[in-house]
Structure 1
């Protein structure tokens, strides 16, 4: 009996929302808004109005809306990297590249408008630009490393410049995927995959590209 009041008090003081669940809810609300509005209109008030949380809960997880945007970039970036790993870590250039582009297309089908909104915001917001360009640079660096690995295996020949080739291919992907799958109506994802697969294999593997 003596322990009952303490137990009741503990239960009464337990937070209504689990911290991880609250963070997830805020991130999802931010993504929803970025599908509908430019980043400059995504305010803390607008985000929190889409959740079941009070405004102070926002600052438990994020300093400001810029950090929120950074976390959205990181979240989607993890998904994108999981897909590109199919080529980066694979040993079958033709099929692994196709699988990677199919994976990238699936991520853009889900998040394309959000990625496009963040890319557009990077042109006018220094903090968002820093985060977004850092994400793209990670893909450029990983691609350049893998090109050199493929050259060492004898699968890719001499290129004018490995780093610049990687930069050109990644920025081409970023713009094309954003245009094709970041707008409504979206392009046919299978066509998008075929176009990118053809560009990459012909650029890197040339006439020796496996079929």
Structure 2
């Protein structure tokens, strides 16, 4: 934009203060005559160019905001339902670049289940879970369920003690994790991040122990 304005001003100087005279055999000469009509015309052109440029920038910014995703990690802990989800509370598609899950010295970007204790994942039948997060898209108002535990059909005929043990053990495991989500929008020129710390997970899933 600066180069365009500089070029236009140079053109003004040439056209306003110098008229080309090519009638002489010696070559092209400039006559120093002030040309106000040219100055006014080019000034109007410059103003138009500047306002057009500003309008284009405003429109581009507006277009990006109208498709901007807002990622949020949502955790739930109820008697019959425990979950960890990534929600899109924005107005445009959310494209996941990475979901990083940590537990003590372990970490994974593949699936939350992979980082939970083996004895827990072997005996629990999940209502829903997701793996291989990279590249997944979440549309506005929807979520990606990392894990969902409910009292589903797998508990039919089992005692309340078994259900209680699974629920409490899952809470203890989720107390120890942290989750961070890196995502982008449809333009894929900028990355955003949202995370929940281990302290936040611990305070939520450990509140029953207090």
TM-score range, shorter-chain basis? Answer: under 0.3
Q: Per residue, is there more helix in 1 or in 2?
A: 1
Give the number of the structure whose alpha-carbon radius of gyration is greater. Answer: 2
TM-score (norm 1): 0.23
TM-score (norm 2): 0.23
